[in-house]
């Protein structure tokens, strides 16, 4: 038990140091913020409002934009730092997503499961094995969704039982499970596919506009506080208090990347291609599939 607590605290202190190391004046974006947004983030962005893509309810407790990592709705170099944790392994085209990160941010942090983690505890929605070679991220397209069903089942059982022996191993050897990659100006990467199909023609099922608005309404409820939530809340307050974030000055058209302007109270219009996007409950819906 003592060994578990020591290693658990080491990992948490490592993460706390990462948050506190960012200068307060930096504007920070969390892409794919989900149910556990980066406490240091000033702006949150997620494509999915519904809970099918996460383990808990979406948290919207600061400026929030509905957007796609493959077509980020922000101007070039609009953020000092981008936090992108456990998102790239879900994308069909990581090369497009990475280029968008470099376009919008000056620097940032990427976290993803290691090849070891993916093979030991495969996830259906993960499309890539990821490895760090020097300062480059290497993406291999997965040959199958689940590598070993027996291993998967037994590891899942240990996690569900909160097995301290397994968790001690996890926290002691955290680097075996997670890739941590800091970048500035450029992200070096290579994508290795099993075929030449870039998958641009893959169509994702989407909600109707009314269904999406209903999901936003549903997720507007307050999130219950626990100690960890309280600690993250305090970090957010310390770093974001007094900052007046004007989303309109940061937003860009996801189609042509040009500046947006407020056409009506709840409608944004692109200054170049005239694409229009709805704002619902102060949340800009900046997805190409929901152009008005």
pTM: 0.87
pLDDT tens for the chain, 292 residues long, are 788 888 888 888 888 888 788 998 999 999 999 888 998 999 999 998 876 655 667 888 899 999 999 999 999 999 999 999 999 999 999 999 999 999 999 999 999 999 999 988 888 889 999 999 999 999 999 888 888 888 888 888 888 888 888 889 988 898 999 999 999 999 999 999 987 554 444 455 566 777 777 777 776 545 555 656 666 666 767 666 667 889 999 999 999 999 999 988 899 999 889 899 999 999 999 999 999 9
Domain range enclosing 219: 2-68+81-244
Question: Does 154 map to a domain?
Answer: yes
Domain assignment present for residue 249? The answer is no
Q: List, in sequence order, every beta strand (DSSP E) within 104-201.
A: 107-113, 128-133, 136-141, 178-184, 188-192
Number of domains in the chain: 1
How is 180-200 classified by DSSP, letter by letter? Answer: EEEEESB-EEEEE-SSS---T
Residue at 232 is within a domain: yes
Helical packing angle, 164-172 and 2-20, nearest 10°: 40
What is the enclosing helix (H) or strand (E) of 251? none
In a domain, 256, yes or no: no
Is residue 52, in this structure, part of any structural domain at all? yes
Q: How many helices (H) and strands (E) does the chain have?
A: 8, 13
């Amino acid at each position: 038990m003592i060994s578990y607590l020591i290693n658990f605290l080491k990992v948490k202190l490592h993460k706390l140091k990462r948050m506190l190391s960012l200068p307060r004046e930096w504007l920070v974006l969390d892409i794919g913020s989900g149910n556990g947004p980066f406490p240091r983030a000033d702006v949150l962005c997620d494509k999915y409002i519904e809970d099918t893509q996460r383990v808990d309810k979406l948290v919207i407790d600061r400026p929030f934009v509905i957007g796609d990592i493959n077509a980020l709705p922000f101007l070039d170099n609009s953020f000092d730092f981008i936090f992108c944790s456990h998102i790239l392994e879900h994308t069909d085209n990581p090369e497009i997503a990475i280029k968008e990160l470099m376009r919008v941010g000056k620097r940032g942090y990427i976290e993803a499961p290691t090849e070891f983690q993916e093979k030991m505890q495969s996830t259906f929605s993960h499309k890539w094995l990821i490895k760090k070679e020097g300062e480059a991220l290497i993406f291999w397209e997965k040959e199958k969704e689940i590598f070993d069903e027996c291993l998967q089942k037994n590891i899942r059982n240990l996690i569900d039982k909160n097995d301290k022996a397994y968790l001690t191993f996890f926290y002691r050897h955290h680097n075996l499970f997670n890739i941590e990659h800091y970048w500035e100006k450029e992200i070096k990467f290579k994508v290795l596919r099993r075929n030449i199909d870039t998958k641009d023609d893959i169509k994702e099922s989407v909600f109707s506009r009314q269904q999406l608005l209903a999901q936003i309404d549903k997720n507007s409820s307050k999130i219950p506080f626990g100690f960890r939530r309280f600690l993250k809340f305090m970090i957010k307050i310390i770093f974001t208090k007094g900052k007046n974030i004007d989303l309109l000055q940061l937003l860009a058209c996801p189609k042509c990347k040009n500046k947006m302007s407020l056409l009506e109270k709840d409608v944004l219009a692109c200054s170049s291609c005239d694409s229009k996007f709805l704002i619902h409950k102060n949340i800009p819906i900046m997805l190409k599939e929901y152009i008005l």
